[in-house]
Amino acid sequence: MSRRMEGLKPYLFVEINKMIAEKKARGEEVISFAIGDPDTPTPENIINRLCQSARDPANHRYPETVGLPELRQAIAGWYQRRFGVSLDADREVLPLIGAKEGIAHIALCFIDPGDIALVPDPAYPVYSISATLAGGEPYYMPLTEGRNYLPDLDAIPEEVLRKAKLIWLNYPNNPTGAVAYLDFFSRVVQFARQHNIAVCHDAPYTENAFDGYQPISFLQADGAREVGVEFHSLSKSYNMTGWRIGMAVGNAEMIGALGSVKSNLDSGIPQAIQYAAIEALSGPQDCIADLNAVYQRRRDLIIEVLNDIGLKAKPAKAGLYIWAKVPKDYTSMEFASDLLDKVGVVVIPGVGYGSNGEGYVRLSLTIPDAGLVKGLSRLAAWQDSKNRFKQKK
Ligand SMILES: *Cc1c(COP(=O)(O)O)cnc(C)c1O
């Protein structure tokens, strides 16, 4: 085995899925609030386009790594309509086999052994893993409630900044549900220029938003495309996690570098899926508001029960998650284990996203309504069992 394998732990969800499978094998029913994976089907118009394209023999052959020109134009068109950002479809847009693929590979373009990637804590695990696999190391920027889960760029030591090649950001944020506004993104542009650090903004949740709020793109900040790229995905917006398609957009040099690594490693996205993505981005967009109404209703139901049983949680403006403070006297791991043992409910311990996630658990809104109702009554039952225990003492 290579030395880089020694530092590679099993991916967070692999462990959680294993725990769920073990319970199920013992015949217990488990209700999972764990993984963010839309539970309703891909919209019909997108499926139809996929089926139709799958029948065309032209789509049975190797695709181009950089994607169909029509797809790159559809992505540029969507960015224009959605964010007012104009992109050059040939130089500033690159389709990906899901955002995760690009997030993992871009580290190879910027990180040499000894280099640093600035990574939020808590965060999606791939930002730090990709830096490590490239031979570099992550420097963790704490995200705390007190700072609205925005990193304190002024707190990063000078010697770290000298070695830093990349900074990772993610808003709307997984797991905290935080959002960022233009003033923060403008500060990031200035920071990136001053220290010559490339910005990677991961933004798969801009379409999952509530209460009339519309998240923005990093590329809306002045000068953003001189310093960075944004990763986006069709997974969470159009219920397409299973089709594996996303994109990187922004700085032409960074996009070119990522395209060059990818063309040496993969052979692109199956073309039928690229056509489905064109339909998703260019066709009717009603599914977005429909899905958000479902998620918003679930968000409010879950928050109500959590607050009833003494877990503090605020309704997120965007994203697919609730970030809840665990009860006093529990670590996030103890609390998650207790829920699983006593009432068969799975939540993700915040510490799985980094040490600053300690004291929190994450609940996903992508749980089908039937499971949601059962899960909520089990959470209430967990509280009752605790009260009974206290009275006995
Ligand atoms: C879901 C998710 C992704 C991955 O998106 P894919 O396009 O499905 O690979 C990337 N970043 C974050 C923060 C996510 O939560």
CATH number (domain holding residue 26): 3.90.1150.10
Predicted local distance difference test score (pLDDT) of residue 390: 61
200 and 240 co-located in one domain:
yes
Q: Does residue 137 contact residue 183 with C-beta atoms inside 8 Å?
A: no
13 and 76 co-located in one domain:
no
Predicted local distance difference test score (pLDDT) of residue 389: 64
Predicted local distance difference test score (pLDDT) of residue 392: 54
79 and 159 co-located in one domain:
yes
Decide which of 261, 282, 303 is a domain's last residue: 282
168 and 269 co-located in one domain:
yes
Query: Cβ(105) to ligand 1 under 6 A?
Result: no
> 26 CA to middle of ligand 1, Å?
32
Report the chain's C-alpha Rg in angstroms: 21
> 310 CA to middle of ligand 1, Å?
30
273 and 315 co-located in one domain:
no
Query: Cβ(204) to ligand 1 under 6 A?
Result: yes
Predicted local distance difference test score (pLDDT) of residue 391: 58
Predicted local distance difference test score (pLDDT) of residue 393: 47
60 and 192 co-located in one domain:
yes
Predicted local distance difference test score (pLDDT) of residue 310: 87
148 and 48 co-located in one domain:
yes
pTM for this model (two decimals): 0.96
Sole residue written with tokens 């994607």: 67
Predicted local distance difference test score (pLDDT) of residue 118: 98
Helix 286-308 vs helix 369-392: crossing angle, to nearest 10: 10
The residue range of the domain holding 377 is 3-41+286-392
115 and 239 co-located in one domain:
yes
Decide which of 282, 313, 329 is a domain's last residue: 282
Query: Cβ(238) to ligand 1 under 6 A?
Result: no
Per-residue pLDDT of the chain (393 residues; tens, 9 = 90+): 888 888 787 777 777 788 888 888 989 899 999 989 999 999 999 999 999 999 999 999 999 999 999 999 999 999 999 999 999 999 999 999 999 999 999 999 999 999 999 999 999 999 999 999 999 999 999 999 999 999 999 999 999 999 999 999 999 999 999 999 999 999 999 999 999 999 999 999 999 999 999 999 999 999 999 999 999 999 999 999 999 999 999 999 999 999 999 999 999 999 999 999 999 999 999 999 999 999 999 999 999 999 998 898 999 999 999 999 999 899 999 999 899 989 999 999 999 999 999 999 999 999 999 999 999 999 999 988 877 666 554
Predicted local distance difference test score (pLDDT) of residue 386: 79
Predicted local distance difference test score (pLDDT) of residue 378: 96
How many domains, in total, are found in the chain? 2
> 375 CA to middle of ligand 1, Å?
25
24 and 146 co-located in one domain:
no
278 and 290 co-located in one domain:
no
> 31 CA to middle of ligand 1, Å?
22
239 and 148 co-located in one domain:
yes
> 247 CA to middle of ligand 1, Å?
11
Element (H, E) at 363: strand 360-364
Helix 99-110 vs helix 252-265: crossing angle, to nearest 10: 100
**Residue 222: CATH number of its domain:** 3.40.640.10
**Residues contacting 133, CB < 8 A, separation 6+:** 4, 8, 104, 107
DSSP letters along 132-149, please?
Answer: HHTT-EEEEEE--GGGTT
Decide which of 282, 300, 316 is a domain's last residue: 282
300 and 193 co-located in one domain:
no
Mutate which of 173, 236, 237, 321 for ligand 1 pocket (most atoms within 8 A of beta carbon): 236
